[in-house]
Amino acid sequence: MTVAIPTLKLNQGPTIPQIGLGTYHGEVPDLAKSQAIVESAIAAGYRHIDTAAGYGTEPAVGAAVRASGLPREQFYITTKINNRDHVRDFRAAHDKSLADLGLDYIDLYLIHWPQPKTDRYVDVWRAFIQFQQEGTAKAIGVSNFWVEHLERLINETGVVPAINQIEYHPYWQQKALRQWGEAHGIITEAWSPLGSGHRPLSALAPLVAIADKYGKSVHQVTLRWQLQLGIVTIPRADQTPHQIANLQIFDFELTPEEIEAINGLHDPAYPAMSPLDIDL
């Protein structure tokens, strides 16, 4: 299936598809099942696939890409360095991801968490800059970084991340962080864009009303809202009908008033994850 997915221009040159597929499938994923999920998504029209060394799904993603029979350049593959590799050999971690994916290059390589207690993220970033210069990482970025972490990377290396992948959904909107990124040329990418399971989006009456107006689901309206904010979004969808539904968001447009209504749903008491919570 061919789906015209919009792209955004990165500060480092290439473009990125604005919606992709998340591939976290549990602490110990079934690789055959994960591969089947990715193959289903590719058949539905996805070309942006997001994985991570810590997810354990890199081999499944690579196998699904090869099984598709499509040219490598049609895909946009994101992966992330394992948190434990902050105190190991950065190049060995990078080489292992390439080997597990079975690819010659990564489209977007991310630092998964800053881990400020370990305090190695600037060293990791310097290694990422080298990988980009060598051509094995076409674009480099970060995940779960706060402004203070981003400022330090930029000040100490002069290289601005292309992406900051963070938790972003109606309940938890890191608006100040997103706007700071925009001002510095960093695109925000949403993980858990449909919520992280603590509270269903269907409990948000304004969101339900907007969905009813357009004949869409609250998930489809949420993804549309993120796209119109200029965010890249990577919902996880294991079932083919959900994968297809997540791509059926290009035939309607939210009004400015509707976008503001969703913006107003942020809950500062939402139990979001913090970079300070993640360490080796």
Query: Annotated catalytic sites, by residue?
Result: 55
| Token pair recorded at residue 27 | 């602490």
Instruction: Tell me the H-state helices in 113-254.
Output: 121-134, 147-157, 175-183, 205-214, 218-228, 240-246
| Token pair recorded at residue 87 | 């105190």
- Helix (H) or strand (E) segment spanning residue 75: none
Question: In terms of residues, how long is the chain?
Answer: 280
What's the start-to-end Cα distance of the chain, in Å? 41
Q: Which residue shows structure tokens 């994101």?
A: 78
Task: Provide the sign of the torsion angle of the four alpha carbons 42, 43, 44, 47, taken in this order.
Answer: positive
- Antiparallel, parallel or unpaired: β 187-191 and 163-167: parallel
Cα angle at 249 between 138 and 20, to 5 degrees?
25
The number of C-alpha atoms within 13 Å of 186 and in the hemisphere containing its C-beta is 30
